[in-house]
Chains A and B, each alone.
Chain A
């Protein structure tokens, strides 16, 4: 745990200064955002809608055209514990959340991804900038292939998404490493988003292979806090990923791996 704190300290000094100094003018379409969402137990779906809209506007204000929300967005509309809800009530909340995200994506002209949590399982949603849910396992967004984090992602995927929900009593080092490690082992960008506050904890981030960052950390942006709301936005350079993959000579191992 101490070691991860040391890593974070090291990266905050070196990486943030590098990333923050990048211009938003490069190619606006390649800006990806992550919302570290503050758990609030909303009293009504209108309140929830307003909050989502506010988050999206803030991320969009920083240039984001694609925004990842965490897993468990449906629980924000639960009036009581999931265990006491019927399947019909759970399904209704999920439909309401989907409608809200579709309306916001359409009105703000952004892509949005998030996940519901139903009986402990994540149900992923990808919504296009027209406000319609996109079906399938991989998605083409602004010319790059995006997928939710999965072992079976095709080789042409450049960005993986990992919406998560972590209970506070889980070892907090478990909130580090999933997406970052996936970036190191699959040579992709990764976006990880958590619900925080109350009894949830997590540290959202935008990661890349270490070779794609000046400080060789693989951390492009990472939330400063594990309990407070934050919005992270960064430009992702897909040509850089292609260059790194070519240098690594990964194709030479394809025969050995029966690919």
Chain B
């Protein structure tokens, strides 16, 4: 699956991708996009809003999940470092985590703790949108193994990845088990 990360304007450099991840712009575009803002995060399909999550403490865990071609969990700031919350994410049968981290200044340690740490703890590939002051950058982490350290993309302004996701089966039974 091809995922573009960066501004919608820069996305014209890439001919075709399955999902775009961007920050803040009000400009809509064709295709499937996840748009994070300082207030929340949206999933849009050719300009139509399908899912939305405001950045606040969720009432239920369902609030953080976007059911698209992939099952996506959305997390922000402190949530990306809450071990107890992260350990619950795999039970939601999530394929991809999209995280949003806002800080005043770029801090690689905070970036690693939030994005890489989330991927290590959940075992789920994690895209992190990091807004540090005026700069927006994108990272992609996976669970590390004996061949790689889990840092696939680190703080790029825009980039595209081609990643084979291991899609998890999500059924009504999963939902009932999770509610119990």
Residues of A within 8 A of B (CB): 1, 3-4, 6-7, 10, 151, 170-171, 173-174, 177, 181-182, 184-186, 210, 216-218, 248-250, 252-253, 256-257, 259
Report the Cα distance A186→B113, complex, angstroms: 11
Query: Which chain A residue has the least Cβ–Cβ distance from B105?
Result: A216
B121 to chain A, nearest CB (A): 7
Whether A177 lies near B120 (C-beta < 8 A) is: yes
Query: Which chain A residue has the least Cβ–Cβ distance from B150?
Result: A173
B residues within 8 A CB of A210?
107, 109-110, 113
> Chain B interface mostly helix, strand, loop or mixed?
helix
Whether B113 lies near A184 (C-beta < 8 A) is: yes
Q: A249-B78, A257-B84 are in contact. Are A173 and B109 (CB under 8 A)?
A: no
Report the Cα distance A181→B119, complex, angstroms: 11
Please pick, from A171, A182, A248, the residue contacting B146 in the complex, using a CB distance under 8 A: A171
User: Counting CB contacts under 8 A, is B87 at the interface?
Assistant: yes
Q: A173-B149, A248-B78 are in contact. Are A259 and B117 (CB under 8 A)?
A: no
B residues within 8 A CB of A173?
144, 149
B residues within 8 A CB of A217?
109
Please pick, from A3, A248, A250, A256, the residue contacting B149 in the complex, using a CB distance under 8 A: A3
Report the Cα distance A251→B110, complex, angstroms: 21
Going nearest first, the 5 A-B pairs with the smallest beta carbon separation are A185-B83, A184-B113, A173-B149, A217-B109, A257-B84
What's the A-B contact tally at a CB cutoff of 8 Å?
Answer: 68
Query: Which chain B residue has the least Cβ–Cβ distance from A257?
Result: B84
Whether B85 lies near A216 (C-beta < 8 A) is: no
Residues of B within 8 A of A (CB): 57-61, 78-79, 81-88, 107-110, 112-113, 117, 120-121, 144, 146-147, 149, 151, 154
Whether A253 lies near B110 (C-beta < 8 A) is: no
Whether A184 lies near B85 (C-beta < 8 A) is: no
B81 to chain A, nearest CB (A): 5
A residues within 8 A CB of B86?
185
A residues within 8 A CB of B83?
151, 182, 185-186
Question: 11 pairs across A/B with beta carbons < 8 Å?
Answer: A3-B151, A3-B154, A171-B149, A181-B121, A184-B81, A184-B117, A185-B86, A210-B110, A218-B113, A249-B78, A259-B84
A residues within 8 A CB of B144?
171, 173-174
Please pick, from B60, B87, B108, the residue contacting A151 in the complex, using a CB distance under 8 A: B87
Query: Which chain B residue has the least Cβ–Cβ distance from A218?
Result: B109
B residues within 8 A CB of A253?
57, 79, 82, 84-85
Report the Cα distance A173→B109, complex, angstroms: 15
Report the Cα distance A159→B24, complex, angstroms: 40
Report the Cα distance A257→B87, complex, angstroms: 10
Please pick, from A185, A216, A248, A259, the residue contacting B110 in the complex, using a CB distance under 8 A: A216
Q: 20 additional contacts, CB 8 Å, given A151-B83, A151-B87, A185-B81? A: A1-B149, A4-B149, A171-B146, A181-B117, A184-B113, A185-B83, A217-B109, A218-B109, A218-B113, A250-B82, A252-B57, A253-B79, A253-B84, A256-B57, A256-B58, A256-B59, A256-B61, A257-B84, A257-B85, A257-B88
